Structure 1
Amino acid sequence: MFVFSGYSQTNDPVKMKCTIVNIDGSVTFYWENPTIPTDFGEFVFYHSNDGINFTEIGTTASSIINNYTHLTTAGNNSQQFYYIDMVLQSGESIISDTIGTIYFQLDNNDPDFNQADLYWTRVANPLPDGSSSDYQIYWDYPDGNWKLIANSSEDNYSMPVNVCKDSINFKIELENSFCSSVSNIRGNWFKDVGYPEIPVFDSVSVVNSQAVLGWTPSESQDVIGYILYTYESNTWQEFDTVYGINNTFFVDDFFDPCEISKEYAIAAIDSCGNKGEGSFLQPQKPIFFYDIGFNVCQRQDTLIWEQYENSTPEIEKYLVWRSVNGSDFEQIADINPNPGSNPPDGISANQMWYIDEDIIPGNTYQYYVQAIFGDRSSTSCIKEISTYSYRIPENLYLANADVQPDNIIELQINVDTDVNECTWEIYRSAAGSSQIDLISSISYADLISNPIIYDDSESQPQQNSYNYYTIVKDSCDIKTIESNILKTIYLSGEKPDTQTNLLQWTEFEGWETEVEKYYIYRISSNDDGLSPIDSVSANTFSYEDIIDESLATNGKFSYWVEAKQTQGGTYNFQSLSRSNRIDLFLESNIFFANAFRPNSTISTNNVFRPVFNFFSGSNYEFMIYNRWGQLIYETSNVQDGWDGTYEGQKQSSALYIYRLTYINIYGKNIELKGSFMLVD
C-alpha cells in the first residue's frame, strides 16, 4: 500500500526516486527536492513495514540533502516503505508519495536445482518519474562480478541455470534518471542433476575377430563421451570410455568374440560428470557363432548361433555366407529369425541353426552369419572347418585288469589313436553270470592317454572274479572291433590246520600271450608285501603256506596272488594282474592262572584275566563269580582284568569261578570256565 498526502498543497512535495537495500539490510532512499519554500522548517522521514502503519525515523533541517539511510536490518527480510514530510515554519506539512524497497526472493527449484525462479516487489505503482519500464536482473556468476543477464517488466522471472554445481547470487535493479533502486541480494546452490539421454546402439558386429560397436550420438548437447559396459560376474561393469559426442565407434580388443559371448550396454556422460541411464534393459550382444559341427557320416556341416539381441528395428532375417578353400564368400541361405519348433538334437529352443548338406570331404569351409534389421546389419565371426572322410579304427586290445589294494579294478586299454573320432565302450560281467553291463563310454575327445586307464569302482572283486571286454565304435557309431576278454583272479583261502594256510584262486584269462607264473604275496610281521614269498607255475591254482604263528600280525596273515604275462605278441605287453586280498586268522591260544595275589608287586600277578598273545575273535565277555554264584566282575575289554574287589571292597581269600565267552575266527561260539584262588 502506498500513502498519498491528503493535504491541499501550494508547494510541491519532494519526489521519491529510488531505494537501495544495503548489504547489512539497511535502506538508503533518494529523493528529488522541489523548490524549497522560504519558510522551510525540516524534513521528517517516516517508515513502515506494511505500508500502512508509519513511524517517524528521523529529521533533518538541511534543505539541500537528497538521501537518507535507515539503519535497520529489515531490508533483507521484507519490503520496507518510506515517505517524507516537508514541514514549513508555518506548520504546514507537504507529504511526498510513498516508495518501497525491491524485496527479492529466489527459488532454486529444489530438488532439480536447475532453474532460478525470481520474485520481487515493485517500488511504487506507478513507478517514480524517470524510471525504466523494465527491472534489470543481475547475477555474479561465474567470477563473482555482477553481470546484467535479463530485463523484465513483470515482478517475476524464471530462467534455466546450466552449471555443474555452484552457489550463485542474484539482485534486481530499477534504473531511474536520478538514481537506481537496488534490491536485497539472494543466493542459492544450483547444479546439473539432469542426466544425458541414452544413446542407441546401431549394431554390434564382429570384424577380424574383434567386436565392433556403433551407436547414434546422444540427443543431450552437453555430452562429452560414452561409457561402455559388459555383463560379467552377474553385474554390469565399465570397461572403457569413448570421449567426444560424435565419437560413436569402438573396437573391443579385450576379448575374442569368437570364443566368448558378451553383452554390451552404453551410457552417456555429460560435462558435469553426470552419467545417464545405461541401456542395461536393452543390451546388445553380437551373434555368437559356435564351432562348426561336421557330420562325417552324413557329410553335413551344422551351424549354430545365438540370436542377435535387442536390435532396432527387429531382426528381419539371417543370411548365411560360405567360402570354399579360400574362395569369395557367397550367400547360401536366408533364414527366418524365429527358431524352428523342432531343433536337432543338442540345439536349444532359442538357438538358430542351419545344416549345410552340400559338403565334399577334403575341402576347407568358412562360414559367417549376418543379421539384417532395417538398413543395419551385424555379422558374426568367421568359423572354419576342414572336412574329411573318417578312418575306421584298426586295433583294440584290453591289456590288463588289475585288482588294486582298495578293491578297485584298474583296466588298461590299448587303442588306435590315429582316427578322427570314435567311442570306446567298456563292458563287465561277473563270472558265472549271463548279465553284461556297459560300465563306461569314452569318447575320442576325452582321450588323455594311451593305453586308456579306467578304474572300475563299482565291482566287488573280494566276492567274485569278473570278465571285461571293450568295443570301439567309429565316428558313425558303427561297431568296428571287439577286444579280447580278460578274466580277473579271484582268491580265497582256508586253514586246514593250525600250521597251514591254504590259498586257492581262479585262473587269469585273456592275455594275448600266456601266463608265465603266479606270484604269492604275504603280509605278516616279517613280510611287508613288497616282494613275493614264492611263485608257482601257470597251471597251478593253489598254494599251501606253512606258517609260524609268531609271525602273525594281530593274529592274521594277508595274501594276494599276482599273474605275470609272458612277454611278446603283437602288442608286446608284459602285464602283471593282481587278485583280491584276503586275511587268514589264527585261533587265539588262551591260558588262565590257578591263583593270583591282588597285593603282589609283580604286575602280571596282581590282576586276574585271560592270558594270550593275541585275540582274533569277537563278542568278548569275561565274568567272575564268587562261590555263591554271585556275579562280582564283568568286562568286554580284552585288556581289562579283575583286581580282587567288589563295589570298592577287597574280597577275601577264597575259590572263585571265571567264565569267558566269545566268537572265534570261524564264527563258532566258545565258552571257557574254571576256578582259581584269590590269595592274600
Structure 2
Amino acid sequence: MSLLFFAGKDVKAQLPVPVMNCVSVEDDGSLNINWSYTPSIPFDGFRIFYKPVGSILPAPSIEYLNTFTSGNIPVSDGQTVGYEIFMVTFTVSPAQISLESNHLRSMMLTVSNAGSGTGVARLDWNRIQAGNNGVFNIYRKDNPLLPFPAIPIAQTNNLIFYDTITSPYCTATDLYYRVEFSSGGCVANTSTGSGSFFDDNLPDDPVLSLVTINSGGFAEISWSHSPTVDVDGYIVGLKEGASFTDHYSLGYVTSFIDDQTALATYQDPCSEVVTYVVRAEDLCDNQSSGAINYQFPHNTILLTGETTTLCNRKATLEWNSYNNMNPEASSYKVYRSDGGGPDIEIANIAAGGANFTFVDPELLTPGVQYIYHVAAINGDVSKISGSCRIPLVPDPEPFTLFELDYVTVVDNDYIDLFINSDPPELISTIEVKRSAVDGSSVELLFSEPWDGFSPVSISDASADVNETSYYYSVTALDACGFELETSSVSRSIYLQIEDIGNDRYRLSWNAYENWGSNLLEYNIYRVADGVIEAGFPVSVPAGTLTFDDFAGNLVANRTTYYVEAVRNDDVKSLSNEVLLPADAEVVIPNAFRPNGISPVFKPRVKNIEPGSYLFTIYNRWGQLIFDSSNPETGWNGLDSGTEASQDIYAWVLTFKDLTGKKVSKRGSVIVLR
C-alpha cells in the first residue's frame, strides 16, 4: 500500500463512485472498514476521509490501491470518539477524483443505569448510516482482559437495549458491553461500554393455578413458574388477618403439599379457611413482590356439617366460595359416601355468593357414618378444588334403656304394655305393633303421644284376651317422626280350660315370651266368688305350661282360674281368666238292683239351678210311684212300701241350667231282682 495525497484536483463524475459498506470499532481504538464499487473507467486507488463526528477541521485521509476493498483507519481513540467516514476513487494523471461515497459513522455505545437501583443496564448506540437496518447482537463480559464470548446475550433491531442483571452478579460488578451489527456483508462492532451493576431486580411473581385439599386432609398448592430466568425457589405464604406471612420455602417446583403441621404458621384446612400466596426467589435472594398473588390469592374450601338440627336424620352442609380460580368456578358439586361406599354426586350447585348452605334430602340412618365433600369446578372442568372429607353420623343421644318391660292382661278385659326409657325426653311418640300370629309379623296397631316420663303404660283395649295371645313390640319416634329404637317382642299369656273327665279339668297356656332365663315360674290361681281358694296359688316351673285340677265339688259359673308369669324381680304378667264350665251335666243309669251295689236309683246332676230339680218315676200303667225335688234323694225300689216287681219303669227329670233354661229329660230304668 502506498499513500498518495492530492489536493485541488478536478472531480470527474466518470470515475466509479465507491460504496462504503461497513465500519467497525476495534479493541485498540482503530476502525476497520470495507467498501465496494462497480468497475467502469480505470482509476488508480481509493482515498478515505475520516474525522470525529461534528468536527469542523479538515478531514485527514488515507489511500488504498484500486485492488483493495477493505482497510483500517489507524486512529487510537475509536473506543471513545465517534468518526464520520467517506471515500472517493482517484487517478494520478490526470489528477482526478470521483464523487463522494456514502458517509458512515462508527457505532458508539453508551451504557447507563436504567433502573432505580443497579439492576438494569441501558445500552444506546447509533446506526452506521441512516436507514441501515439489520440485527444487533448484544455481548457482555465481566473480565476486561478476556475477549467477548462468542454467543450474544440477546439480539435486537432497535438502537436501545435493557439488560436485566441476574445472577451470578449478586454484588456490584463491572460489566462490559459491545454491540455487533450484522447485515449483508457487514459485521461491525460498536465501541465497548461498561458500568457497575448487580442484581437487585425483584423476580416476577409465579401465578397461582389451584389450591385443593387432598385425601390426607392437607392443602395442595399449584402454580406456574415465574418467567424470571434466575428464579431458583418459591416462598409459600399464608394470610393472617389482613396481611400475609411467609410459611415455607421450596426449590424450583410448581406444587407443594402443606403438611408442615409442626410450623407455628401452619393452618389446618379442615378447620379453617386457608388463603395461600406464592412468591419467587432468585439466585441473588431477591424475592418477588407478591403483587399478583396478593391481589388474587387462592383459598381452600372449608366444609362443615351437622345432623342435629333436623331431628338427627338429615345433614346440613355449609361451605365458603373458592376465589380467583381461572377460569372462574362455575359450580360446586356435593358428594356423599354411605357407610364406606363409593362417592355419589348428590347435588350440583351454581357458583355465586360467598357462602353456601345445602341440606341433603336423604333420610340418614342413625349409627351409619356418611362422608361428605364438596368440589369447586370451573366451566371447562380444567380446575377442581376439593374440600376436606367430613364424617357425619346421624346418631341422636343414645338410649341407655328402651324396652317393652312386660305386657299383662288387666281385668280379663284388655292388655297393658309397660315401657321403660332412659332418657325418656328423647321420645315424642310411641308406635304399638301387634300380631296374633307370630313375632315376625307384628304390624302397626296405633300410635300414642309420649308424656316424657318413664315408665309408662299403654293399654290395648282392642285385645280379645279370651280368644288368643298377642305378640307386641313398641317403637320410639322423635319429634320429626323418625324412628329412634324398636323394642324386642313380648307375648301375652292366653289360658284355656279343658274337661278331661272324672270331674278333672286341665289348664293350658302359652309361654310368656321376652323374659328368657329371667322367667322364674308360673302361679296358678283358683278363685270362687272373688276369693282365692285355699291351697292356691300353685307354682309350677317356667317350662311347665299345663295344670290339672279336680273340680268335683266346685260350683260352675262361680269358679275361675288365671295364671301369672313371675320374673326373677317379682314382676308379674297375668293371663286371661277361665270359668269352670257351666254346662248342665246329667248321668242316669238304665238299670239298678235294690239292695245291690247301687241300691238307690237317682240321676247324677251337675251345674243346675238350685230348687229347680224334680225327678219322678212311673210304673207301666202310668202311675206315679216316686218323686223328689232333692238331687240327693233317690228311689229305693219300693212302691207304696212294698218291693216293686222286676220290670221296666219310666222316669222324667226336669231342672233349669245355670243360664235359667228349663230342661226336661225322659227315660226308663230296669229294676232287677
Q: Rg bigger for which structure?
A: 2
TM-score normalised by structure 1 residue count: 0.40
